[in-house]
Structure 1
């Protein structure tokens, strides 16, 4: 049972069905991407304990796999006690669905280097805290996904706008934000970390990514970091995921500076920047997640070539859309397109990605961005 049925859940569903699994896709709205390919679907509020109880009792899943943050995570522990496997674990899901808990675990519990940070639950608290952290700083809701509600605050005059944006972008019933020091990084990376039940933790080649408005716009693999930086990132990722337990793929994000590898965030599931693996690897991140969850062997991970992804964004609100330019995008060799099948659009909503391979990551990025620019979302 998938709790959350977006584009990541859709690709995971396809991978699961190819190995004979039955998938129930659950989300808060009908016809979500994963529902279009799943065996069964349910539309509920995942913040409702009663709704969660009803669909779990109805379907009796062997595995519950959360895909989004807006879930009543306390209920997952109850399901786990009944013998249902929660991925990666109910504890891990509870920690990682909230930025404050995972940050405290990494920084205070494990001694991992993170950005300097503090919290606020009111505008007045945020104004005072932002002054203590210093400007510029980064403000995020403690509970959100895909960068929603995140902004960089340059000075005190921008604090109120950032507070309102963070609260609007918060998922669930949280009214809490985290204020972080701004890290002058050379590159941001995602290290896809595969934690297995009875085998060592393994990694995909590091993925670089570029964000706007707190949401990823491009990703590329491999990211150009030094062997020492990669070793440090792998050690930190292993330390944090070991503390969380369970099995599955984790998207562990880092800031890489000239002198440090700094832990940023962690998602206990396939990562949006990892969609590049749909073209770059012999086993994509969704297949790796499935194998780790089911305890199946992962003999090797092979990267075929430098590769990149670029997002296809909506610019308007519409509940009836179609795409033009897909044929043009696919005219370029080693380019592919994934349209997610979301039933409606809104400004900056991610509606698909283009994927590209090339001789270098720079060429792959250019091909992916060019392909994405050829695709237009049209209101019927």
Structure 2
């Protein structure tokens, strides 16, 4: 549907623009809020009831989105103008069917399919686009993995081609660890079923100095890149991020180039004029200063939650605008902080079993330059990201400390 044909401002009217969120976590919640502010009717789907985005959407549905029939039935019932995949465990063939029926899939069914498959994405980045990556091989059997590991050298990292947040990933120090890594990849991959075999990627363990996220926006105005975001991960999952990342000028230039080329390559593969939205391009910066492409998410990125305090338009606002055909230019992605200021986010991770209650908000937010988002997920089982603290500081270190202090002051209790 063309942008000028979309009805905005009447989400309960007869002909509103209807956006179906496939995945309703904390990132989807912020996307839903951004879209509703622009008058879009939001329908939020997830595998469980009471997911964050469902709490702010106009409609909510619960289903297994990897079930092709269930997903197709939902789309037929909802009749969305736009489908926004916010997770990767989705029956992608249904997205292609929806696209052929004239529904705008964000950014496109082709891009969603490529980005959820490490093999397809890495072949595009390395083989087709010529982007620098770590030495790697793909394997469809234990024997192929053994040969691939020997080719890239030890130590190496083994990952399923379809997984996220570090699931199924292993660091292998020598040949004796290959068998265990293969089993870990098979058990930790997405959509695991007994008897199935997942292909894996084995990569050389590079001399990593730090990681960057380059939020890159494709819109009707072209492709622009946000200020780089630094990050800290734990067990393959985001824990802190900050913006701007303090990087040398040559690293900044190369990071921007790689991010633009990666997104441009994906957009060209989509073969559509509406491959719009935010992409989270993940990069490795090595100890020698070289920059490597790692992965890209065709949606707002968890490390990008820092933009809720660092930019006038957060990554979620940018995503909503781009989806609706609004041009996003360099001025729209600029930082909105005083000069010589930095911003940070710190994930609030809760461990235990049960419902989580928060208190001492007054103490946590006593400092004016801080903020917090409580995701309101129904419960935690094991450990789960339940909120995020945001802070400004005179520099990155001060901002990170302030965000950490918010998480420490905010009291959590499992009931």
TM-score by length of 1: 0.94
- Helix, strand or coil at the partner of 2:29: helix
Secondary structure of 1:183's match?
A: coil
- Deviation larger for 18-27 or 166-175: 166-175
In the alignment, which of 216, 219, 228 is matched to residue 196 of structure 1?
A: 219
Query: Which residue of the partner structure matches residue 267 of structure 1?
Result: 297
Is 2:230 the partner of 1:208? yes
- How does 1:280-291 map onto structure 2 within 5 Å? 280-291=310-321
2:98 to 56, 79, 97: 79
- CA distance in 1 between counterparts of 2:412 and 2:348 reads 9
Encode CA deviations 1:162-194: one digit per residue, 9 max, x unaligned. Answer: 444433332224723222111212221000000
Which stretch of the first structure deviates more once superposed, 180-189 or 318-327? 318-327
Q: Which residue of the other structure, out of 135, 139, 154, is the alignment partner of 2:173?
A: 154
Q: Is the 8 A contact 2:223 2:264 kept in 1?
A: no
Can you list the C-alpha shifts for 1:17-37, whole angstroms capped at 9, x where unaligned?
A: 011111111111111111111
Q: Does the CA contact (< 8 Å) of 1:141 and 1:166 recur in 2?
A: yes
Stretches of structure 1 that go unaligned for 5 or more consecutive residues are none
- Cα deviation, residue 83, structure 1: 0.5
Q: How far apart in 1 are the matches of 2:411 and 2:149?
A: 40
Structure 2 SS opposite 1:26: strand
Separation in structure 2 between the aligned mates of residue 162 and residue 363 of structure 1, nearest angstrom: 39
Name the CA shift for 1:213/1:91 in 2 (closer, same or farther; >3 Å). same
Moved more, 307-316 or 164-173: 164-173
For residues 308-363 of structure 1, the C-alpha deviation after alignment (integer angstroms, 9 at most, x for no partner) is 111111222x2322124433321233111111111121333211111110110111
> Is 2:82 the counterpart of 1:63?
yes
Contact 1:313–1:347 (8 Å) recurs in 2: no
- Inter-partner Cα distance in structure 2 for 1:130 and 1:376: 46
User: Which stretch has the larger CA shift, 271-280 or 210-219?
Assistant: 210-219
CA distance in 2, matches of 1:210, 1:158: 26
Further displaced range: 335-344 or 90-99: 335-344
Partner of residue 294, structure 1? 324
Give the equivalent residue in structure 2 for 1:355: 390
1:14 maps to 2:39 = no
Q: Is 1:236 matched with 2:266? A: no
Task: Report if aligned partners of 1:206, 1:223 keep a CA contact under 8 Å in 2.
Answer: yes
Provide the rounded CA distance (Å) in 1 between the counterparts of 2:123 and 2:52.
33
Partner-residue secondary structure (3-state), 1:187: strand
Q: 2:204 aligns with which of 181, 185, 189?
A: 181
Is 1:279 aligned to residue 315 of structure 2? Answer: no
Larger Rg: 2
Aligned to 2:370: 335
Q: Assess if the C-alpha contact under 8 Å between 1:323 and 1:375 holds in 2.
A: yes
Distance 1:345 1:168, change over 3 A: farther
Match of 2:17 in 1: none
Please list every run of 5 or more consecutive structure 2 residues that lacks an aligned counterpart in the other structure. 1-19, 268-274
Greater alpha carbon shift after TM alignment, 168-177 vs 4-13: 168-177
Deviates more, 1:273-282 or 1:323-332: 323-332
Check 1:130–1:349 CA distance in 2 against 1; reply closer, same or farther (3 A cut).
farther
Q: How many residues were matched structurally?
A: 378
Question: Paired residue for 1:247?
Answer: 276
Distance 1:336 1:80 in 2: 39
Q: How big is each residue's C-alpha offset from its partner over 1:34-71, in whole Å with a ceiling of 9 and x where there is no partner?
A: 11111101111111111111111111111111011101
Partner of residue 88, structure 1: 107
Alignment of 1:368-379 (within 5 A): 368-379=403-414
Q: Contact 1:252 / 1:265 at 8 angstroms: preserved in 2? A: yes
Check whether the contact 2:166–2:237 (CA below 8 A) recurs between aligned residues.
yes
The normalised TM-score by structure 2 is: 0.86
Secondary structure at the residue paired with 2:380?
A: coil
- Specify the alignment match of 1:226 in structure 2: 248
Q: 1:328 to 1:127 in 2, by over 3 A?
A: farther
Query: 2 CA distance for matches of 1:280 and 1:172?
Result: 36
Cα-Cα RMSD: 1.8
* SS of 2:358 mapped into structure 1: strand
